[in-house]
Amino acid sequence: MLRAAAVLFDLDGTLVDSAPDLAGAANEMRSAQGLEPLPYERLRPMVGSGARGMLGAALGVAPGDAGFEALRDEFLDRYERRLTRETALFANVEALLRRIEAEPLRWGIVTNKALRFAEPLVAALALARRASVLIGGDSTPHTKPHPEPLLEAARRLGVDPARCVYVGDDPRDMRAGRAAGMATVAAAWGYLGAEEPIEHWGADLVIEEPAALLHWLDLA
């Protein structure tokens, strides 16, 4: 149980299920190259790794490979065109946010997603006016797992990082949160990646569904 001053969330895989559109963009690229689409279940775990992860899973290319940058740009352009086609809040996230807002407790978003994508996505999902802060992957010189994006969010909120909670679905989220001096919560409904099991991430709390966060914050 924690009495927090602010709750910060990762975006993709934590608040928002963007995997269908990201996987769709990856399969569009496969189709353009005459390849069969990959099963959604194979692409979903790589969403947290962004374009790098999606291109690795879909086309077997990695940073440093010939043509990677052009493929990355194509992927991002395709994704931008279908940014909100199938993307939606995860189940019960809306209820979680409404309860936090009723406290009232401020909440915000810290994502590695560039603001080019994060801002229109958050706006389309009617979160822009509700979130007290939005930090994107290009808002500071560093991205997670560096703590600077989280520290910048705390600065903009005027809140001590020690009184912030950070909720995410990737080991990098937990490393960033710990380095920023924040309490960390791992969202087990997220994409989770292909790294170590969630129990090994060092989170202060692992939750299976959003309402569990309310119990920990003593808001249930």
Active site residue 169: no
| Distance separating alpha carbons of residues 42 and 39, to the nearest angstrom | 5
Give the active site residue among 12, 17, 169, 173. 12
Q: Which amino acid is located at 107 in the chain?
A: W
Active site residue 12: yes
| Distance separating alpha carbons of residues 108 and 166, to the nearest angstrom | 9
Q: Which two tokens stand for residue 10?
A: 């990762």
For the chain, the three-class secondary structure string (H helix, E strand, C coil) is CCCCCEEEECCECCCEECHHHHHHHHHHHHHHCCCCCCCHHHHHHHHHHHHHHHHHHHHCCCCCCCCHHHHHHHHHHHHHHCCCCCCEECCCHHHHHHHHHHCCCEEEEECCCCHHHHHHHHHHCCCCCCCCCEECCCCCCCCCCCCHHHHHHHHHHCCCHHHEEEEECCHHHHHHHHHCCCEEEEECCCCCCCCCCHHHCCCCEEECCCHHHHHHCCCC
Residue positions annotated with a catalytic role? 10, 12
